[in-house]
Each structure stands twice: as structure tokens, then as C-alpha cells.
Amino acid sequence: MDYAVVPHWFLGYNIFLELLFFIVTLMVGVYALRIYQLSGQGQSKLFGISFLFISAAYLIQSILNFASSYSMAEGCNMQSMKSMHALGSLGIYTHIILFIAGLVTLAYMALKIKSIGAYLLFLVISLGVILVSSNPLYLFYTLSSILLIYTSFYYLRNYLQSRRVNSLIVLIAFLFLLFGKIHFIFSINHGAYYVAGHFLELVAYSLIFINLLTIIKRK
């Protein structure tokens, strides 16, 4: 199960960006939980938890890509290639599980229902269809896009109701995330989409982080 076609010139940059995404999403998660402590808003708590899941997913992804790049630079024999393949598969599935958990938590937040049973059912079904699929990566990117479409509509409704700049920034950020995931659908066969997906994610997470900083300062 290939992860994606990564252009040679982008090797190293992708690891740096994924580490940056890990740091930014971790800070977003922490700041969102801080907002929850200050305001008591349950949605801030779910938002923070979702980004902690996503942060862990990027950490796994960066470690996986670093290990792969290091192994290629050092040269591999058959035994080490088998070990790298097994480790890579474990890393990919761990990334998928954590990232989907983050997006499902966001969608659960947008649904505004309070049922841990419904949340767990939603999560198990989402992960189950991916893990039993013959092509889990395509299904992962496709399901991620669907979840992000729903979350984007949620923030679109928020913006139309409030007309606040903060709501617009978050909406734009999730649209960038959505476009990034759509690009990753094609990245398995085309390296340019892999690069574009990373830069779209960079813009999205930067906007979300800046927005949370402004909320923290106001409080």
C-alpha cells in the first residue's frame, strides 16, 4: 500500500511541514481546551480533542516519512525492506485511525448531539469501512473529504448567522483543508498533488491557529 508519490525535490520538506503541522495542531488543541476552561463551552472541548487526535496523526506521519527517507539514504537489503514495509504499514494505519478520529470528533461537534454511544458508533463505522477496504488510502482521503464537507457547511452556517470575521476565517481554513484532502486523493499517482495538498494544509492550520490566538487575547 503506497502512501503517495513524493517528488524527490520535496523529500525533507514534507517531513518539516508535517512536524510543523504537528506543532501547530497540538497548539490549536491545547488553546481550544484552554478556551473551554475559560468559557465552559462543550464545543471548544470537542474542537480541542479533535485537534489533539490530528496532531498525533501528523507526528506519526512525520516519523514514518523520516524513517523511510533515512532507510533509502542508507540503502536496504531484503530483510530491512521487509521490516520497513511492516513498520510503514503500521504507521500508515495508525495515522489513518488518529486522523479519522479527529475528523469524526469535529463532525460530532457539528451535529450538536450529546451521546457517547452515537459518537462511538460513528467512529467505529468510519474506521471499519476503511480498514476492511481493498484500497484503504483512497477511501481514507474520500471519507476525510466527506467529513470536511460537512464540517465546512457547519462553519458556513455559523458565518451566515453571525457575520463575524472569526467565523469567516475558520470557514476559509476548513475549505483549505477540504481542498487539501481532495488533492491527496490524486497524490498516490501524481506527486504535484501531494505538494499542493501540504501547502493547502499549511494555510488552513495557520488560519485556525491565528483565529484561536485572537479569541484567547479577547478573553
* Residue pLDDT, tens place only, 107-155: 999 988 888 999 999 999 999 999 888 888 888 988 999 999 999 999 9
**Alpha carbons 90 and 105: distance in angstroms, whole number:** 23
Q: How confident is the model at residue 2 (pLDDT cuts 50, 70, 90)?
A: very low
71 or 112: whose pLDDT is higher?
Answer: 112
39 or 70: whose pLDDT is higher?
Answer: 39
Per-residue cell: 11: 523529500
Contact of 15 with 60, CB cutoff 8 Å: no
pLDDT for 181 beyond 90: no
Which residue ranges form the domains of the chain, and what is each CATH number? 8-218 (1.20.1070)
User: Residue 128's CB: how many other CB atoms inside 10 A?
Assistant: 10
Considering the entire predicted model, what is its pTM? 0.86
Average pLDDT over residues 181-210: 78
How many CA within 13 A on the CB side of residue 33?
10
Among 83, 87, 76, 77, residue whose Cα is nearest residue 3: 87
Contact of 187 with 197, CB cutoff 8 Å: yes
Contact of 20 with 209, CB cutoff 8 Å: no
Q: Spell out the residues 6+ positions from residue 171 whose beta carbon is closer than 8 angstroms to its own.
A: 152, 155, 156, 158, 159
26 burial type by CB count under 10 A (0-12 exposed, 13-18 middle, 19+ buried)? middle
**Alpha carbons 115 and 67: distance in angstroms, whole number:** 40
